[in-house]
Chains A and B, each alone.
Chain A
Amino acid sequence: MHEHSYDIVIIGSGAGGGAVAKELAPLAAAGRRIAVLEWGAKLADDAYTGREVEMARQLYFDSGGVLTKDRTLTMAYGRAYGGSTVVYTGTSLTIPEEVVRRWDVPGIEAEDLARRSAKYLAENNVHLLDEEELNDNNRLFRDGCAALGYRVQQFPINVKGCRSSSLCNLGCPNSAKQGTHRVQLPAAEAAGVEVITNCRVTRVGEGSCEAVVADPGFGLPTTWEAGEHRVRAKVVVVCGGAVNSSALLLRSGFGSALPNLGRYLTLHPALILVGEHPHPISNFHGHPKSFYCDHFWESERFLLETCMYFPFTTSKNLIGFGAEHSELMRAFPRLQMILVLAIDPALPANRVVLDRDGEPVVDYTMGPEVLDSLHRSMVASARIFFAAGAARVHAPAGATFFIDRRDADRVEELIPRSRVVPGKISVASAHLMGGCRMGRSAADSVTDGWGRVHGARGLYVADSALFPRASEINPYVTVMALADRAAEHIRTNAGELLAS
């Protein structure tokens, strides 16, 4: 067992961990020892090949297909230097005031989160793309929404020198996307924060953690030797993401004092619809995600976003198989895609648990309200495709594989609610939230509004696990804003927390 001693250890280097590392960097510059322990690897710039299977294997847990316990939903979350920010699309939104009000966490104010979010929007070079940078897949969505009178907005995105490769979810091959691997982590390292990759933390306690370093067979070499490590630290900040932060604390025995640990997980269950145009459109060139429609946000609890996926991901999200499936895949250059996201309620029964080996299992059930939202979102999307000129539409719950344009006014009937069946339609999640929710006390939550774990000294959570309910928008900026709060609390109380 190798032994180490630090003032502060940050577990995970994604949106949360990266933000904490950068915000605590002044302490490192002032001589404090700070380490980020990251399970994933750091890839060399030229290792981003854009090849789907290879990149998914290197950058995601289970290649981006972690299954929930009942196997009705797959979850995508990153494992890399930079966490999910290496593979996210970079759409950068500030959490709406109404949602913060619904969160109802003492000390968490919309204005405070907006101020902190603005800092990260600036740091990450967030801006709107110019009209000439938008491809047809995105413009058709905007035009279809506009024709129907649906409210549609352009996504601000965090790119610098984007070359329109559309490969964001496989890691940007042009180093353009401003994830924590490009912005916050290099800045933190420059100030003296150490980042140890290929390092999985297996247990945490107040004042220490245990980790295992292993070479995954790809990526740049790490600085610690392979094997087991014990790390003493005065402050431990857990930023492993919603599933892994919850699992780490459960495995470390915090579950008995914190009955809400792992619970209230929300996922924004999502699915993909495809509209086929009579002629080729530009779709796999251009930034993939430029617009969203929040017209049904309050009324039907869903959001629609543009998207463009790669061949394997697209194929598994289509319903069916055989000749008609192949026919649709062969229409790839004519496909318009929409991602729909249901806004799911936070329920105690939806949670992270551990299996016999101590590995996380996500026990999550899509309730009737989520299935209703998914159903209504498919109907709305089909209308948008037709309004944008599609010749036919493939909806996962369609009564037929294709809905033809001449049946455009029958979409309601041709996408029956009865066909929205979990396990048949492909539902996925890339927005994992909760499990270590913020709140008042151990009776209703796991941490306070600063991310301090109730009843544990020097132990913080600073990532998407903190969300008490869904963010109802793309979450990464809010993750960074919450991590910023945790870092501020640590900085402000450093004298007391780091006293030997």
Chain B
Amino acid sequence: MLVMRSLTDTQARFFETVAETVTPEVASLDAARRARLLAIVDDALLDRQPSVRRQLGTFLSVIRLAPLVRYGRSFDRLDGARRTAVLRWFESCPVALLRKGFWGLKALVFMGYYGQPEHWAEIGYAPDFDGRPGVRRA
């Protein structure tokens, strides 16, 4: 069975690799939460135009291969510090298309991670339909 319906298995696995740099907590997720992260991203991609999925696939390849120029290795074969450096470059890249592509990719990772209510406790977010007792003074 495919990992995601919107990306190939290779793309999905590479997405996870990038996700671990974007949100370090992803690296220690158990299999169920990892699958949930991909499922949330998958649903979001399937709701959008097919062109968005194609662009994401292409952008993932660009991230994977771009470090060959500077480090002689693909992204997945770099250590953590270099992966971060590569993504920082994309984030501030003078080429608007790459900068915006990275922003979109990052947003998908955040959606997959912070969109899971199971992760709210880690950040101290505890919404309540009746929040009145929580409106207290500083």
Which A residues have a C-beta under 8 Å from some C-beta of B? 50-53, 57, 62-63, 65, 67, 70-72, 132-136, 139-140, 163-167, 173-174, 277, 279-282, 284-286, 310-312, 314-316, 320-323, 325-326, 329-333, 359, 421-424, 426
Contact = CB atoms under 8 A, between A and B. Distances in A.
Nearest to A129: B135
A325 B130 contact: no
B111 A316 contact: yes
User: Interface size for chain B: under 10, 10 to 19, 20 to 34, or 35 or more residues?
Assistant: 35 or more
Contact of A330 (B99, B123, B134): B123
Interface centre among B21, B124, B135 (most CB of A within 10 A): B135
A163 B131 contact: yes
B135 A316 contact: no
B49 A359 contact: yes
A286 B87 CA distance: 37
Interface of B: 21-25, 40, 43-44, 47-49, 84, 87, 91-92, 96, 99-100, 103-104, 106-107, 109-111, 113-115, 117, 119-120, 122-138
A57 to B, nearest CB: 7
Given A167-B127, A312-B115, A315-B110, A62 B25 contact: no
A336 to B, nearest CB: 10
Contacts of A422: 96
A243 B68 CA distance: 42
Contacts of B138: 136, 139-140, 277, 279, 281-282
Contacts of A426: 103
B111 A423 contact: no
Contact of B132 (A53, A139, A164): A164
A323 B24 contact: yes
B48 A62 contact: yes
A63 B52 CA distance: 14
Given A53-B40, A63-B47, A312-B110, A173 B120 contact: no
A165 B128 contact: yes
Contact of B103 (A139, A173, A325, A423): A423
Contact of A329 (B91, B103, B114): B114
Given A164-B130, A311-B123, A312-B111, 11 more contacts: A52-B115, A53-B40, A134-B135, A163-B129, A282-B135, A282-B138, A284-B134, A286-B134, A286-B135, A311-B114, A321-B23
A423 B98 CA distance: 9
A435 B131 CA distance: 39
B98 to A, nearest CB: 9
Nearest to B122: A330
A419 to B, nearest CB: 9
B115 A424 contact: no
A315 B21 contact: no
A173 B129 contact: yes
A311 B48 contact: no
B120 A311 contact: yes
Contacts of B117: 51
A284 B132 CA distance: 11
A85 to B, nearest CB: 20
Nearest to A419: B92
Nearest to A279: B138
A322 B137 CA distance: 32
B134 to A, nearest CB: 3
A321 B22 contact: yes
Contacts of B129: 50, 163, 165, 167, 173-174
A132 B137 CA distance: 9
Given A320-B91, A321-B91, A135 B135 contact: yes
B103 A164 contact: no
B100 to A, nearest CB: 4
A315 B114 contact: yes
Closest 5 interchain pairs by CB? A285-B134, A285-B131, A164-B131, A53-B115, A311-B114
A422 B103 CA distance: 11
A174 B130 CA distance: 8
B131 A166 contact: yes
A424 B114 contact: no
Nearest to A143: B138
A320 B47 CA distance: 26
19 contacts: A50-B129, A51-B117, A63-B47, A72-B96, A134-B135, A135-B135, A136-B137, A140-B138, A164-B130, A164-B135, A165-B128, A285-B133, A310-B127, A322-B87, A329-B114, A330-B122, A330-B124, A423-B100, A423-B103
B135 A165 contact: no
A268 B87 CA distance: 30
Contact of B123 (A53, A321, A329): A329
B100 A332 contact: no
A173 B40 CA distance: 22
A423 B96 contact: yes
